[in-house]
Chain A
């Protein structure tokens, strides 16, 4: 199986008053049609990694890599116009919060149709049919009604499902989900992840799931990368997370309270410099 995505020595750099700072420091990964989880705390560079694959890092940020190939295409050599043809159609991204990522003045039906129309020419009936089918696929019960609603008229969980529908309707080869469920309730979270999981399996997509939640990622992915200040500190199979070796990963795992908590104090990661 040839790799869907190959990244070698990816660097994302931002200039600051004290000179350039690397927020991603030489990350390499190869992804087939599988589910990869990237975990880390805020500032670890996990979202920057996701965004740089789609070349969504704005100036003055700079992305460099020895290799950034998606399905044989060198992403760094593409023009903006060529990138637009790739974004959405071949690689798409689910963002964290539906409240901010959906267009508030456009109905849900129109937004999903737009995702489709940007990349294909289709008749009106076709579009409507596919939009309805997609809404059903993300388990929205009453798709006819939801088509005509505006984002503020639906709940957070439903908004997130709408966004997933929008991202999956052009049938991309790679889905990047950046904290797709952290704005949602626990019970809705499980549903949304199951939908993503199901569609990824059925359509044979590649998935990069970016999250700060170690346990969640380990239950939905095949492989896991743990990032810390721009570097990958641990790479392992999801099932092997319990046997993680790096002290940072172990520290993270230990600091999460459990439902049958019996410890009197939670272990805290050693930090350099100031108290947090």
Chain B
């Protein structure tokens, strides 16, 4: 079964249409990347899936169920999002414990204490960080908290919006290893937005290249590694990344 199926998706902000006829499928357990430059509409696609960009037409279905346009509690249990900037995405006046317990309270799940412990352990955060505030954590630790928050409801699909681009290279390596391990251990499906092709090469199975709100090419990661992308624009992107490997 497809974890995510998107067909003919047009998303608009007010009068301006941002994406045009986006379509791709992500199989269950797969890790899929959306790449492209800023303004190509890749983050907008994630937002539409998450219910944060509400005016769209076309179809989005998650694990076989049609996605409605708004925020949907049942959907939230299936699919969670990790944002780019761990300095901005955590509430500055909530402790790690409060941040992680809140989704459980919203969804009326009991025994949150034990679950918080478990999730912190699985993202590699020591127990003593549980009652700290975000400003007492490093960038990498904060991104671990953000990932833990996304995982706490045991979703099956994670939307990752540039999860490592605000981090240093050595920290990026740790978070990438973590994401890879979590996917293996928990059978997660990833849809990741990034402009960093080497990261795609490390973490993903397939990728879609976007430009000006359209998907120009969907390729296997093997094609990326061997430099066999077909579309001229994807080849250009690959060339830039090979010349100046991004961190």
Which residues on A are within 8 Å of B, measured CB to CB? 41-42, 155-156, 185-190, 212-216, 219, 251-252, 255-269, 274-276
Contact = CB atoms under 8 A, between A and B. Distances in A.
B213 interface: no
B177 interface: yes
Indicate the member of A185, A186, A261, A262 with the most B CB atoms within 10 Å.
A186
Contacts of B201: 257-261
B180 A269 contact: no
A232 B201 CA distance: 32
Contacts of A266: 173, 176-177, 202
Contacts, number: 112
B152 to A, nearest CB: 19
Contacts of B124: 275
B43 to A, nearest CB: 13
B195 A268 contact: no
A275 B170 CA distance: 12
A68 to B, nearest CB: 28
B173 A255 contact: yes
A169 to B, nearest CB: 27
Contact of B241 (A212, A214, A259, A276): A259
B139 A185 contact: no
A262 B225 CA distance: 9
Contacts of A265: 177, 180
Interface residues of B, number: 41
Contacts of A213: 169, 244, 246-247
A259 B244 contact: no
Contact of A269 (B126, B170, B237): B170
Interface of B: 37-39, 124-126, 138-141, 168-174, 176-177, 180, 195-199, 201-202, 224-226, 236-238, 240-247
A190 B169 CA distance: 20
Given A187-B37, A219-B244, A259-B242, A251 B170 contact: yes
A41 B168 contact: yes
A186 B238 CA distance: 10
B87 to A, nearest CB: 11
Given A251-B170, A265-B177, A185 B195 contact: yes
B163 to A, nearest CB: 13
B169 to A, nearest CB: 5
B174 A186 contact: no
B101 to A, nearest CB: 21
A255 B199 CA distance: 11
A155 B39 CA distance: 10
Contacts of A187: 37, 236-237, 240
Contact of A257 (B138, B202, B238, B243): B202
